[in-house]
Structures are given as structure tokens and as C-alpha cells.
A and B are shown apart, each in its own frame.
Chain A
């Protein structure tokens, strides 16, 4: 299958699906059709993972087509050992989102499924893009379906949240655009990312471009102090929107640092690393403290995301192999476990229409399967040994202590705070006397809902207990990244 443009098929399959959806009749037909398309997309991603050569650090499955030759802009695709995992994560969460919205979305189903299909194509495209403009276009156009998902199918304050989400992200990404144009002219007038990575840039330019990129990526991650859109967006978004936001969109900010800031601007990255480490440590502790104070489940998980993504950016800017591989692992795992948590919050909300933590109690007794699975994902999010969260966090902390003692201490503190709020949530909702919000009947998981949770649970324990296959695919690409971030020596 060497000649087949696999990545293009992976991107275009949902697009083709989105083009067919408007012509389907009946809501169930739309739901089944979308599910099948996204499942097929997922299977293709699994096949890509299986066919991926783990020994190579090079970009694989490459495609290159002419787009705008006058500006040296191309349709260039390819994946390495890092992005292949995000492609898998995106396609996995894609069909889970369809299942999670099966009954929750009863209005304008066609439009909703079109949005899901479209956003999946764009997200996969972002992780496959090897051309700066292609990346940028997909990165920004993704705002459109997400804006609609929050704004049309969201909660009571959805319009405010949708605007805030859109404008924060847009302001950030427009600065990214200016930065990438600056790189274009400094890097030999090409938008080919691999060529731009190979080029060297003067230190001053690197710093400016780094700051422009920082705004864009920091909003997306989100880092303190530009994180305030996230709780609003999460609370108002429908379940599928929250899963996509937490599972994939947040990863894109960190992926941006990984793909652009570090390899293209190594001197500026080193120079500004103290700033990045400070901001990350602040996000870990501050996000955790905010989460501790919440009584809305979705808000709590949203703030926990700020804290957990802080570990990712912290690890990336240690410039040390443990920290960086920990960061990538943490990115993937956060997608799995936080995606799962939002899924479960959605399932609870469908049953009770309440997100108030204090309104629940004893769910392990009332709905045992539900309770136990929820507990498993909470523990994974807490980074308990044996779950996927553990390796990522421990590697990041190990890397950080080698670089900055106080940042490492902040990380440990953040992990402790994390244990506090997640265990608090665990105790309140799962243990104790049975309590559900008034007028609601708790029902245990249906088959459809189990089907969503099962693959996520599989990843939690697979990566928790036997992460070797994951690491072996990741390692060559990470090693390659380590060679790219060696400063060029143009600093000062």
C-alpha cells in the first residue's frame, strides 16, 4: 500500500462523510452513518500505527503536492513517532464522541454530526501537516465547527462561552500567523516545515517569533494567565465538545511548542525557558488550587486540565530527555483520561441534569459498573501507579528536578493538590450513603456507553502497565528532537 496517499484518505474520509450527511433521511441514519465513517477512520489510523516503522525518526507516509508554487506553499503531509499517537488519539475520541452524543443531541442532529466530521478532518490534518500554511489554515478553521458546537448545542450561557473561545484563540493564532511569515522570509522563502527546521535564524528574530508563537500556543494549551476561556467553554459545551476540547484541542498548543518553537527556535527556547518553566509551575499549582475550590464537576475537571497541561509544558522546557518524553506521554494520557472524565460527567448529566458535586453520593453502590469505571479514570487522572497517568508525571518530575529544584517542588505540590481534589470528588460522589439529585433515576451503563468507555479503559491500563510499545515508537522521534534543540550558538 506504499503508493496510496493514506494520510489524505484519513483526512478526506470524514470530509466526504460530511458531504453525504445532509442528504441522509432520519436522525438514526445520520448517527449510524457518522459512527461508521469515524470508526473506519479510526481503523485506518490503527492500520497506520501498525504499518509505522518504529525504528525510524523520519517523517513517514509522506505526501507532497503543489499548492501555491509562487509562494512555495505546498500540500505536505507526514507523521513521525510523536504525531502518529495524536492521530490515533483524535480518531479514537472521534467515534466515542458520536456515541456520547447519541441521545444527548436530539436537535439538529445533521448539523451536529457534520460539525463532528469536519472537526475530525481538521484535527487529523493539523497533526499530519508538514507545511506551515496548511497547518495554520487547519488550525484556525477548526475554530468554526467548535464555535458552532459550543454555541448551538451548549448550555445556558453558551453564546458567551463560544465568543470567548473563538476570540481568545483567534487573537492568539493571528500572532502565530505574523510569526510564521517572519520565519518564511528568514528561512529561505518556503513554508516547508522540514526545511524551516533545518534553517538557522538570528537570535533576535527567534525571540520575537517565539513570543508570537507563545501567545498562540499558550491560549490553546491553555497556560496561566490566558486560561480563562477554558472553564467557560468546557462548562457550556456539550459532552462531545468537551471531549474534543480536552482530548485533542488542548494538545495542539503543546504540539505547537514541540513542532515549531523547540526545533525551529532552539536558542530562544533555551533563553526563555525560565519564563516557560515559571508559567508552567504557576499553572500546575494555580490550576490545582482553583480546581480544589469548585463545586461544579465540569469546572473542576476543566481546572484540573490547566494543572495537568502545566506538567506538559514544564516537561517540554526542561530540555532533558526524561522531561520531554514525560511531556509527550502526559499529553497523550491526559487526552485519554480527561476525555474519559468528561464523557462520564456527560453520562451523569444526561441522567440527572445536575453537575453539582455535593448533590451526589454513594454511586458505587447505586450504579456499580458506572462507579467503578469512573473511579478508574479518576485514579488515572491522579497518576496512581499502574495507570497511564503515572509514567508521564513521574518522568516530567524526574526531568524537572534535574533542571530546577523549585519548579520540581511546585510539580510535586501540584500532584498533591491534584490528589486532594480528585480524591475529594471520589469520596463525595462514589462513597458514602447513596444520594442523587432530586427527581432523577440513576441507571447503570448501557451497552452503548460501555462501548465508549472500554477502549479508553484499555489504554489506561495498557500504558499504565506495559508502556513499552508506546515508548519504542516514540523514542526515535524524541531523540531526533533532542538533536534539534541543541542551541546553534548564535545566542548573544
Chain B
């Protein structure tokens, strides 16, 4: 590489470099003795994320480019989704302090690992080469394995971590197998190169189908689509609550970014291979998530199934395709991050100790004891259920719009019927909050950091619902630039 292209590459990957440097710095500072400095590490992490966000913002206004010999793409599409990742991670960090204190697990490496996971997710979003995508995915996954088991003394946390490592390694294997088949067929792993090579080949070749299905399975495992969803409830339940929130928002965004880039932007030629199976899986994912959530007693398990159902909705956006479909998925991921993290902040406030579990009944009578908090939870829950005028409604509305534009009215009908079913379990929590008396008056102290999380999530959830114009415009422009 020439000198200029090296400089350009480093500049374009500036946000990733900042986050990785921040992770290293936080890790080293965490070796300082005493627990008092850990709070500062959270602050430093958030500041560095803000810095990276500023840099991504700057890069987004430049023209789309691929750097590092075409392995790394910096375009409006990746910048938009990176913003979602920054938002998700920053809110997770802000809500973690109180939780770690309750669980007596205040350690600096927690933040370093979160930053590593963020860096991995960012590389997935920008990866323009199957190998780079794989590297990002592993960096993210390995950091999250450790974070899931971060409550060392809790059995559930340890069990989840072990399960996640085993199943995660299995899915990585599937992905790698698909990747190697692609390399064998095309002689390259770079996405545009792959597309050019595939254009010359017979699309109905069984080997190509096999390669596509392996790749797809590995990725769909990460988003928790049926039939690769088994890990989701167990691991969501056992992981520390902020990490559950992180997986739901950031993990899902990164995995969908890869799916979108591969299926919609670069390997569109393979559409005939994946379409039927993705349609079937989307319907199953939506159905299983909506129905299984109905009977859960643990709030995190319930949200795990709800997250599966939302993944199904996101897959519908993918099926719809076109600028509308792409923009709808991007917007959905942003809105989902706002509302899910908002609700998790409430769950964390209600946490009395992870060893006690998180029963749904903890919400009982919240409207009596903490009217403001209950009202915010009400907004997040109605948003997750897709009731206007919240962001959750607009997210679903826009996916449905893309589906109908693409002529998939039947899928739209299936989607809304499952949405109506899913509303039941969100309503159940609202019922507990507003229509039942508290078992024991809960004492909840809301720290300024958590207050910031709640207000940001609330503002985001309402703003994306009532005045979605700006968000929609950015997402549509990014989608159009990506497809164009």
C-alpha cells in the first residue's frame, strides 16, 4: 500500500482505533488498587464513545469509501448503524454502575470488555470482507462471553456463560465453514470480489447453496432467529441485566448489519438461494417469540422471547428489500435500542440481587410507589408493543409499509396478528404496575447516570414516534447511498 492510502485507511477507521485504545487504557487503569476509581473508568469510556461518535459523524459526511485494500467500508450505512452501537453501549455503561454495586462486582475490566465488544461490533458493521467480518464477530462474541459470566459467584451467570461459549463456538464454526466454501468457489472473501465472481457462476449450484446456508445459519444464530434461538432465553436470563440489554441492542444491531450488508448490498445475486428459507424463518421467529413470551414469569426471559419476536419483524424488513426495506430495518434497530435500554434501566432499578431472579411481579404497584418511573416504563412497554405515538409503532409501521410496497401483503397480515398477540405480555406488566398493589414498598434510588439513561431513552422513544421525519430522512439517505 502507498503511504496516502495507509493514512486514509487509518483515518477512516479512526472510531475503531479510538475505541480499542480506550479499551486498553481502561484495562490498564483498572489495575490501580482500590474500587474508588472504577466510576471514573465508566466516565472515561462514555467520553471516548462520544469522541468516536463525533468522528463517525464527521466521516459520514464524506463520500463512501473502502479502505485497507477493500476490506473495510466507511459509508452512510455503517455510520448510521455505528451511531446505534454507540448509543446502546453508552447507555449500557451508564446503567451498569448501580447494578454492579448491588451485585458487588465493581471491576474496571467490565468497561474494558464492553469497549472491546463495541469495537468488535463496529468492525462487523464496517467489514467488507468475510474474514474481517468474522474477526469483528469473534472479538465481540468473546468479550460478551466473559461479560455474561461476570457475576462470578452466581451459578446462573456461570451457567449462561458456559452455554453461550459452547453454542457460540458452534455457530462460529458454521459461519467459518460457509466462508471457506465461498473462498473455494470464488477465490476471494472480499464482498465485491465475491459478487463479481458469483455473477459468472451458475447460481443453482448445490455447493453455492450449501455455502450460503452455512453462512446464513451462523449469522441467524447471532440474531436468535428460529430455529437457532434456543440459547437466547437461557443466556438473557442468566447474564447480568445490563449485559442482557447490551446483547439485545448492540449484539442484534451488529448481526443485522452484517446480514443486511451481505444479503442486500453485496450478495443480492444469491437472493434466490436464501429468500424462501428466510421467509419461513421470519414467520417462525415472529410466531415463536410472540407466543412463548406469553407464559414467562421471569422478566428477562420474557424480554428474550420478545427480542426473538422483534428479530422476526426485522427479518421481514430484510425480506421486503429495496431502499424502504433497508431503511426500515436500520430505523427499527435505532428505535429498538431506545426502548429496550429504557425498559432495562427500569428492570435494573427494580433489581434486588441477581440471585433472587427477576420475577415479573417485581413491577406490581410501581405506579403507586414511583409514579414517574411507572409512567416511563409504560411508554417503553407500549412502544415495544407497537402502540402509537411511540417509536415502536413507527418502526413497525415502516416495516409494514416496505412489505406492502414489495407486495408481501400476506406477510404483513401475519406480522400484525402476531403483534396483537405480543401486546398481551407487555400489557400484563402495565397491569401489574397500575392495577395491583405493591407487595412491599420498594425503595428505589435513581442515580443521575440512570436518570440520564431513562430520559435519553424516553426522549428517543417519543421523538422517533411523534416526529420521525429527521430520523427517517437519515435512514433513507443512508439506505439509498448503500444500494446506489
A and B interact: yes
Which residues of A line the B interface, CB within 8 A? Answer: 67-71, 111, 133, 136-137, 140-141, 143-144, 147-148, 151-152, 158-159, 162-163, 166-167, 170-171, 174-175, 177-178, 181-182, 184-185, 208, 212
Q: How far is the CB of A157 from chain B (nearest CB, A)?
A: 12
- Verify A163–B424 contact, CB threshold 8 A: yes
- Verify B431–A159 contact, CB threshold 8 A: yes
- Verify B472–A70 contact, CB threshold 8 A: yes
Residues of A within 8 A of B71 (CB): none
Residues of B within 8 A of A208 (CB): 409
Residues of B contacting A: mostly:
helix
Residues of B within 8 A of A159 (CB): 431, 435
Nearest chain-A residue to B418 (Cβ)?
Answer: A174
Residues of B within 8 A of A167 (CB): 420, 423-424, 427
Q: In the complex, what distance in Å separates the CA atom of A144 from the CA atom of B430?
A: 10
Residues of chain B from 431 to 451 with CB closer than 8 A to chain A in the complex: 431, 434-435
Name 7 A/B residue pairs within 8 A (Cβ), A-sorted.
A70-B469, A137-B388, A144-B382, A152-B435, A166-B423, A167-B423, A178-B413
Given known contacts A68-B468, A159-B435, A174-B416, A181 and B424 CB-to-CB distance under 8 angstroms = no
Residues of chain B from 392 to 432 with CB closer than 8 A to chain A in the complex: 393, 397, 400-401, 404-405, 409, 412-413, 416-417, 419-420, 423-424, 427, 430-431
- Verify B420–A70 contact, CB threshold 8 A: no
Give the contacting residue for B472; candidates A68, A140, A182, A185; CB below 8 A.
A68
Q: In the complex, what distance in Å separates the CA atom of A402 from the CA atom of B409?
A: 38
- In the complex, whether B473 has a CB less than 8 A from a CB of chain A is yes
- Verify B469–A67 contact, CB threshold 8 A: yes
**What is the size category of the interface that chain B forms with chain A?**
20 to 34
- Verify B416–A182 contact, CB threshold 8 A: no
- Verify B409–A178 contact, CB threshold 8 A: yes
Q: In the complex, what distance in Å separates the CA atom of A143 from the CA atom of B387?
A: 9
Residues of B within 8 A of A71 (CB): 401, 472
Number of A-B residue pairs at CB separation under 8 A: 80
Given known contacts A70-B472, A71-B472, A144 and B387 CB-to-CB distance under 8 angstroms = yes
Residues of B within 8 A of A158 (CB): 435
Residues of A within 8 A of B79 (CB): none
- Verify A151–B434 contact, CB threshold 8 A: yes
- Verify B473–A70 contact, CB threshold 8 A: yes
Q: How far is the CB of B478 from chain A (nearest CB, A)?
A: 13
Which residues of B line the A interface, CB within 8 A? Answer: 367, 382, 387-389, 393, 397, 400-401, 404-405, 409, 412-413, 416-417, 419-420, 423-424, 427, 430-431, 434-435, 468-469, 472-473, 476
Residues of B within 8 A of A175 (CB): 413, 416
Q: In the complex, what distance in Å separates the CA atom of A158 from the CA atom of B434?
A: 12
Q: How far is the CB of A226 from chain B (nearest CB, A)?
A: 13
Given known contacts A144-B387, A175-B413, A182 and B404 CB-to-CB distance under 8 angstroms = yes
Known: A69-B469, A136-B388, A178-B416. 14 other contacts (CB 8 A): A70-B473, A137-B389, A151-B434, A158-B435, A159-B431, A174-B417, A175-B413, A178-B404, A178-B412, A181-B400, A181-B404, A184-B401, A184-B404, A185-B404
Q: In the complex, what distance in Å separates the CA atom of A167 from the CA atom of B427?
A: 9
Given known contacts A167-B424, A175-B416, A141 and B400 CB-to-CB distance under 8 angstroms = no
Residues of B within 8 A of A111 (CB): 367
Residues of A within 8 A of B468 (CB): 68
Q: How far is the CB of A190 from chain B (nearest CB, A)?
A: 13
Q: How far is the CB of A148 from chain B (nearest CB, A)?
A: 6
Residues of A within 8 A of B389 (CB): 137, 141
Q: In the complex, what distance in Å separates the CA atom of A472 from the CA atom of B430?
A: 47
- Verify A166–B404 contact, CB threshold 8 A: no
Nearest chain-B residue to A143 (Cβ)?
Answer: B387
Q: How far is the CB of A246 from chain B (nearest CB, A)?
A: 23
Given known contacts A137-B393, A208-B409, A181 and B401 CB-to-CB distance under 8 angstroms = yes
Q: In the complex, what distance in Å separates the CA atom of A147 from the CA atom of B424?
A: 12
Q: In the complex, what distance in Å separates the CA atom of A170 from the CA atom of B424?
A: 10
Nearest chain-A residue to B390 (Cβ)?
Answer: A141
Q: In the complex, what distance in Å separates the CA atom of A137 from the CA atom of B419?
A: 16
Q: In the complex, what distance in Å separates the CA atom of A136 from the CA atom of B472?
A: 19
Q: How far is the CB of B240 from chain A (nearest CB, A)?
A: 32
Q: In the complex, what distance in Å separates the CA atom of A292 from the CA atom of B431?
A: 34
Q: In the complex, what distance in Å separates the CA atom of A148 from the CA atom of B367?
A: 12
Give the contacting residue for B409; candidates A68, A163, A182; CB below 8 A.
A182
Residues of A within 8 A of B401 (CB): 71, 181, 184
Residues of B within 8 A of A147 (CB): 427, 430
Residues of A within 8 A of B420 (CB): 167, 170-171, 174
Give the contacting residue for B423; candidates A152, A170, A185, A212; CB below 8 A.
A170
Which of A147, A162, A163, A177 counts the most B-chain CB atoms under 10 A from its CB? Answer: A177
Nearest chain-A residue to B368 (Cβ)?
Answer: A108
- Verify B416–A68 contact, CB threshold 8 A: no
Q: In the complex, what distance in Å separates the CA atom of A425 from the CA atom of B423?
A: 39
Residues of A within 8 A of B424 (CB): 163, 167
Give the contacting residue for A171; candidates B405, B417, B430; CB below 8 A.
B417
Q: In the complex, what distance in Å separates the CA atom of A162 from the CA atom of B423?
A: 13
Residues of B within 8 A of A152 (CB): 434-435
Residues of B within 8 A of A162 (CB): 431, 435
Q: In the complex, what distance in Å separates the CA atom of A208 from the CA atom of B412?
A: 13
Q: How far is the CB of A136 from chain B (nearest CB, A)?
A: 7
Q: How far is the CB of A426 from chain B (nearest CB, A)?
A: 36
Nearest chain-B residue to A175 (Cβ)?
Answer: B416
Nearest chain-A residue to B410 (Cβ)?
Answer: A178
Nearest chain-B residue to A138 (Cβ)?
Answer: B388
- Verify A185–B387 contact, CB threshold 8 A: no
Residues of B within 8 A of A140 (CB): 387-388, 393
Nearest chain-A residue to B469 (Cβ)?
Answer: A68
- Verify A148–B434 contact, CB threshold 8 A: yes
Q: In the complex, what distance in Å separates the CA atom of A170 from the CA atom of B425?
A: 14
Nearest chain-A residue to B435 (Cβ)?
Answer: A151
Residues of A within 8 A of B435 (CB): 151-152, 158-159, 162
Nearest chain-A residue to B428 (Cβ)?
Answer: A163
Which of B401, B404, B405, B434 counts the most A-chain CB atoms under 10 A from its CB? Answer: B404
Q: In the complex, what distance in Å separates the CA atom of A182 from the CA atom of B404?
A: 7
Q: In the complex, what distance in Å separates the CA atom of A185 from the CA atom of B322?
A: 15
Given known contacts A140-B387, A143-B387, A151-B434, A177 and B423 CB-to-CB distance under 8 angstroms = no
Which of A158, A174, A181 counts the most B-chain CB atoms under 10 A from its CB? Answer: A174
Residues of B within 8 A of A67 (CB): 469
Q: How far is the CB of B114 from chain A (nearest CB, A)?
A: 35
Q: In the complex, what distance in Å separates the CA atom of A162 from the CA atom of B428?
A: 11
- Verify A177–B397 contact, CB threshold 8 A: yes
Q: In the complex, what distance in Å separates the CA atom of A174 from the CA atom of B416?
A: 6
Nearest chain-A residue to B465 (Cβ)?
Answer: A137
Give the contacting residue for A141; candidates B387, B419, B430, B476; CB below 8 A.
B387
Residues of A within 8 A of B476 (CB): 70
Q: How far is the CB of B379 from chain A (nearest CB, A)?
A: 10
- Verify B412–A181 contact, CB threshold 8 A: yes
Residues of B within 8 A of A68 (CB): 468-469, 472
Residues of B within 8 A of A177 (CB): 397, 400, 416
Residues of B within 8 A of A181 (CB): 400-401, 404, 412
Q: How far is the CB of B103 from chain A (nearest CB, A)?
A: 34
Nearest chain-B residue to A150 (Cβ)?
Answer: B435
Residues of B within 8 A of A137 (CB): 388-389, 393
Q: How far is the CB of B392 from chain A (nearest CB, A)?
A: 12
> Can you list the 7 inter-chain pairs with the closest CB atoms, starting with the nearest?
A174-B416, A171-B420, A137-B388, A181-B404, A151-B435, A178-B412, A170-B420
Q: How far is the CB of A375 from chain B (nearest CB, A)?
A: 37
Q: How far is the CB of A64 from chain B (nearest CB, A)?
A: 16
Give the contacting residue for B419; candidates A163, A174, A184, A212; CB below 8 A.
A174
Q: In the complex, what distance in Å separates the CA atom of A70 from the CA atom of B400?
A: 16
Nearest chain-A residue to B327 (Cβ)?
Answer: A70
Q: How far is the CB of A268 from chain B (nearest CB, A)?
A: 15
Residues of A within 8 A of B397 (CB): 133, 177
Nearest chain-B residue to A171 (Cβ)?
Answer: B420
Q: In the complex, what distance in Å separates the CA atom of A212 from the CA atom of B412?
A: 12
Q: In the complex, what distance in Å separates the CA atom of A362 from the CA atom of B148?
A: 72
Residues of A within 8 A of B469 (CB): 67-70
